[in-house]
Amino acid sequence: MKLSDILKKEQVTLSFEVFPPKATANYEAVEEAAYRVAKLKPSYMSVTYGAGGSTRSNTVKIAKGIQDKYNVTTIAHLTCVGATKERILQDLEQMREVGIENVLALRGDRPQNYEGDPFVQYHYASELVADIKEFGGMCIGGACYPEGHVESANTHTDILHLKKKVDAGCEYLTTQMFFDNNIFYNFLCKVREAGIDVPIIPGIMPITRAKQLQNAVKLSGCNVPMRFRSIVDCFGSNPMAMQQAGIIYATDQIIDLIANGIKHIHVYSMNNSNVAKGIQDNLLGLL
């Protein structure tokens, strides 16, 4: 099913994200963890794409497995940094062959130790979006950044670039994580003012380990409110307490979003079914 059709429905959706096995990982163990999340039957799931195409075929394999075994619609992520147009075409053909109709079109980050310029054939995600649109038959999504993308000078120019990506064919956008909902509401006003009218799906990251917060902040540059810092300071050294506090903080963010009229919520559950289930159980009756 196309995500655009799921998003048109009236009910609130809760989706989960998983990652595929890396080439060096234990394939079966990672697959099993992703399937445990699928067993929770979220509204749909997305499967990430390893930096620089490192999990290329595993992304599609896991996405297909989730659809076939658990009847949960999936989105396959696809990045274009360092890719040739031929390779992108092969990836899209592989998706079409196995019945994947949703793709999250991303530029990706510059790979470490990459020799030469990785942005030769593709410079920005909007070029990938245009190619996928031309390929046809896919519901195309893109990423957006409520606090601005790390490379952009300011949120204003970032939103102008985002408009180009949507005009190229994005049918919805999923946000980078944020820990303060006011940042999201503010961003939503600005993108609507800029004439971007596709659904914007907030991406919520449950932080259940103190180290995870450091990595998340390093990667995304997102703001961490004092309220959440205190939680991590207090419970960070107690794994069970930190997991519970992280689930509750994420649930609290989601309830506030739903109460403010946001109908579609994406959770960066990664392959942790306990965290995904914890959030889902907390929302019982709200979805």
Rule CB under 6 A: which residues touch ligand FAD?
A: 48-49, 51, 77, 79, 104, 106-109, 124-126, 143, 149, 151-152, 158, 161, 164-165, 174, 176, 203
Sheet with 172-175: list strands edge to edge.
200-201, 172-175, 139-144, 102-106, 74-79, 45-47, 13-18, 264-267, 203-204
Nearest approach, Cβ of residue 49 and ligand FAD (Å): 4
Between 166 and 245, name the residue whose CB sits nearer to ligand FAD.
Answer: 166
Between 174 and 243, name the residue whose CB sits nearer to ligand FAD.
Answer: 174
Nearest approach, Cβ of residue 284 and ligand FAD (Å): 26
Helix (H, G, I), strand (E, B), or coil: what is residue 76? strand
DSSP assigned state of 22: P
166: amino acid identity, one letter: V
Nearest approach, Cβ of residue 65 and ligand FAD (Å): 17
17 is catalytic: yes
Tokens of 173: 């956008």
Between 147 and 236, name the residue whose CB sits nearer to ligand FAD.
Answer: 147
Instruction: From the candidates 17, 31, 101, 171, give the one annotated as an active-site residue.
Output: 17
Nearest approach, Cβ of residue 47 and ligand FAD (Å): 8
Between 174 and 231, name the residue whose CB sits nearer to ligand FAD.
Answer: 174
HEC profile of 105-159: EECCCCCCCCCCCCCCCCCCHHHHHHHHHHHCCCEEEEEECCCCCCCCCCHHHHH
Give residue 270's region: left, alpha or beta (phi > 0; psi -120 to 50).
left
Residues serving a catalytic function are: 17
